[in-house]
Amino acid sequence: MIDGLIAGRLMGDPERRQGKGESTFVVARVKAQSNEGESLMVNVIAFDDAPCVALLALRDGDSVAAAGHLNPKVWTDKQGNTKPALDLVAHRVVSSETGA
């Protein structure tokens, strides 16, 4: 597992979802810029209360930074091109919009 910090803008509003049993979690998508100027989509998921609350206070287009465990992935678009992506299990979420 890789510890990481990502920063970017939310793509869509974060969503609270129901897991098995009574557990809930929050998911969000963040568009981050690489050093080369390319965009990278980061799928963020939060289970702990503090990052869940921080994510749910944000809206589409808000700036956000999140720290946690990263999992690199590759996906294929409709044209058959492979693209990089990251999954992040967030332990901390910071945004100027929430003051967190």
Enter the pTM of the model: 0.86
Residue 100 within any structural domain of the chain = no
Has residue 85 got a pLDDT over 90?
Answer: no
Residue 54 within any structural domain of the chain = yes
Has residue 98 got a pLDDT over 70?
Answer: no
pLDDT given for residue 35 in this prediction: 81
pLDDT given for residue 38 in this prediction: 82
The count of domains in the chain is: 1
Q: List CB contacts of 68: < 8 A, sequence separation 6 or more.
A: 3, 4, 44, 51, 88, 89, 90, 91, 92
Residue identified by tokens 């930074």 is 65
30 lies in which domain range? 2-94
pLDDT given for residue 100 in this prediction: 52
pLDDT given for residue 12 in this prediction: 97
CATH number of the domain to which 67 belongs:
2.40.50.140
Integer Cα distance of 20 and 87 in angstroms: 20
Residue 69 within any structural domain of the chain = yes
What is the percent of the chain where pLDDT is above 90?
71
